[in-house]
Structure 1
Amino acid sequence: MYEDSTHVRQHALQSVHNATDAGRPSFERLLDKIEIPDRGRHKPILILDGGLGTTLEDEYQVTFSSRDTPTWSSHLLASSLETLLEVHRSFVQAGADIILTATYQASFNGFTSTRRYDLNVTSAERGGFYSQEEAGHLMRSAIPLARSAFGSKKGLLALSLGAYGATMIPSTEYTGKYPPEMGDCVNLERWHAQRINVFEADQKTWNEVDLVAFETLPRVDEIQAVRNAMQVLSMQKPFWISSVFPNDDEKLPDGSEVMDVLEAMVAQTPSESKLIGHPPTPVGIGINCTKVSKLRSLIQKFEEAAASMQVHLPHLVLYPDGANNMTYDTTSQLWGPAKDAAGVGKWEDEMFDIVHEVQERDKWAGIVVGGCCKTRPQHIARLSEKIKHKR
């Protein structure tokens, strides 16, 4: 349970001394778990997986809807573990060093709004909804499942945790429009802490998690909230924060400039939290669920902001949409043609060029690169082949 106790405050104070451990050294220790040729000679470039939900839709004919499957790809934790495992394995086989769990849109509200799925009865006989206890069990089950996808291969497991808006119906992580009660850093912190506690509460499950991925955050107060939520964990984990930039103004959906985003991500100053001490620093920051065409300018803005703030950049985490010629309508929940689709090159070629440019400028501790919506195993395989040849 999330609570502001003496123990929490003491742990928060200790986190000041652990701030360095929450940064780059923690990621360096993670690298011992995977095989990277010439690791000592080059800063690491790690391959992340691709779009889980859209791969399920495009290659496995899985149908999602807010009404019937409010937890989206997490629904398969109840309905088809075999299919989910097959998709995870396909990304491992494509060359992914890091696999994200099927928990992006998982939440208590989502599962308790989902009709119980029992393979032993017909659809007409199914009834009732999942309990809170069952919801927690289903969410935790994503971790050993994703871990098993590596088989005998080495790899890192990232616990995928989407923005609060990703669990809303319809989802609002692209707009950042939250209900009034969630327009407060403390309430967002409490919500994220409660969800993380589902996983941390089971030590065996938590031990399987290599790092936590906070994804598609559309607001600076939510960026602050997740850092504060990580601060109260009894067993710390390295984590990354990635945000979404869906609009042409290169700002967060809440209107924040990149300078404000970077400050919220890495600044060692207390925010609106009632906790004492500095929030932990992410091992990676970056951009996801954003068009490839926007990446170069956004990355350079992050680099310029870091120079202005005189801060060292952690790993760059980069996993944009694979749908260069498509865009997602959150109202209809369908993909359609993008208005600026003309002249778009191959996704993996563009990503390789961007990674190469970032590496040449040498501003980041390392790079994690993969894909988001509409990025299939084939895209990751082609990108992985290019990157690993460069390694």
Structure 2
Amino acid sequence: MPTTNPITASLHTPLVLDGAMGTELEQYGVKTNDALWSANALLTDPEAIYQVHARYFQAGADIAITDTYQANVAAFARVGISHSQALQLIRRGVQLAQQARADVNPRGFVAGCVGPYGAYLANGAEYTGDYQLSAAEYAAFHTEKVQTLLSAGVDLLSVDTMPNFFEIQVLTQLLAQQPNLVPTWISLSIRDPQTLSDGTPLTTVVQWLDAQDVVSGIGVNCTDFAQILPAIQTIRAQSEKPIVVYPNPGDHYDPHTKTWTPVPHALTFAEVVPSWLAAGATIIGGCCRTTPADIAQITTLLKK
């Protein structure tokens, strides 16, 4: 159980998470503007995935999140990939992170990434939570991926960008059924610092997650810097579990073209991370559009 895993204790101390995968892969020429997004690299350029992980570890990251956010059996099936091949690609995502860890920071951790059903829809639904499946359908979508990540030997599970409270509940209950579960954080997609993307009050979500023994940490990701401090305060008021934050810098995402438009950034990680630490965050990194240079800034602050 996660409560007895020695890694769980580490989550209560400041740790540096890595940064963006998809937008970094674009720098290597990987196509990301389709339904597979960063998972395309598992098919076309696994070496680029390795290089991105290695650069984050070199920048000081303690934790690498696998390139499996958009990698699931259903998404791969849409492009003609067999069931067995899809599971192997998910395992490959873990192996690439493990190899980068072994080569650069053997003391680091590998977190297997589980994205929401909304990411599979590839229409921006991970930022709205505007979808509804039955409990059985959510379980069917997530079970094999979770089991594949666990069997591949991840140290942690990073359940990312979750916008839909019912999906969160079903997935958390599914995790509780896994005999070999590792420490797991649930990171939320929020509308604002008081509201999950689907409209559920954030206090309701956090109170529920706080009561689940299988949840080792609660987080917020892929929202802009301005939302992070008040979100940390909302979470900390309801839970003493480790808090994980990995924002984007505020650029605008178009779900139709699947591209990002830069906007002027008023703040840097160096300016905001101290207040996040003071408010109770312990695991800090970046999401879309962040870079190894950003992670180096965080490393400097967390490892003084």
RMSD: 2.1
Aligned counterparts of 1:142 and 1:334: Cα–Cα separation in 2: 23
Summarize the Cα distance change of 1:149–1:30 in structure 2 as closer, same or farther, 3 Å threshold: farther
Q: Give, in angstroms, the shift of residue 249 of structure 1.
A: 6.8
- Which residue of structure 2 aligns with residue 11 of structure 1? none
Aligned counterparts of 2:206 and 2:179: Cα–Cα separation in 1: 26
Q: Give, in angstroms, the shift of residue 250 of structure 1.
A: 3.6
- Which residue of structure 2 aligns with residue 89 of structure 1? 54
Runs of 4 or more consecutive aligned structure 1 residues displaced over 4 Å after TM superposition? 27-30
- Which residue of structure 2 aligns with residue 191 of structure 1? 141
Summarize the Cα distance change of 1:194–1:141 in structure 2 as closer, same or farther, 3 Å threshold: same
Aligned counterparts of 2:193 and 2:242: Cα–Cα separation in 1: 24
The number of equivalent residue pairs is 302
Counterparts of residues 1-391 of structure 1 (less than 5 Å): 21-23=1-3, 25-26=4-5, 28=7, 31=10, 44-57=13-26, 59-66=27-34, 70-114=35-79, 129-150=80-101, 151=103, 153=105, 154-178=107-131, 180=132, 182=133, 184-200=134-150, 203=151, 205=152, 208-245=153-190, 247-248=191-192, 250-268=194-212, 280-304=213-237, 306=238, 312-321=239-248, 323-324=249-250, 326-338=251-263, 341=264, 344-355=266-277, 357-359=278-280, 367-389=282-304
1:220–1:260 CA contact under 8 A, matched in 2: no
Aligned counterparts of 1:346 and 1:152: Cα–Cα separation in 2: 26
TM-score relative to the length of structure 1: 0.72
Q: Give, in angstroms, the shift of residue 337 of structure 1.
A: 5.0
2:193–2:227 CA contact under 8 A, matched in 1: no
1:220–1:264 CA contact under 8 A, matched in 2: no
Aligned counterparts of 1:244 and 1:220: Cα–Cα separation in 2: 10
1:266–1:282 CA contact under 8 A, matched in 2: yes
- Give CA-to-partner distance per residue, 1:216-268, whole Å, 9 cap, x none: 000111111111111221322211100011x3474111101111111231225
1:223–1:264 CA contact under 8 A, matched in 2: no
Q: Which runs of 5+ in 2 are unaligned?
A: none
2:193–2:230 CA contact under 8 A, matched in 1: no
Paired-residue identity, %: 30
- Give CA-to-partner distance per residue, 1:49-103, whole Å, 9 cap, x none: 001001112x32333222xxx3221221121111111111000000000001110
Summarize the Cα distance change of 1:29–1:254 in structure 2 as closer, same or farther, 3 Å threshold: closer
Summarize the Cα distance change of 1:29–1:263 in structure 2 as closer, same or farther, 3 Å threshold: closer
Summarize the Cα distance change of 1:369–1:254 in structure 2 as closer, same or farther, 3 Å threshold: same
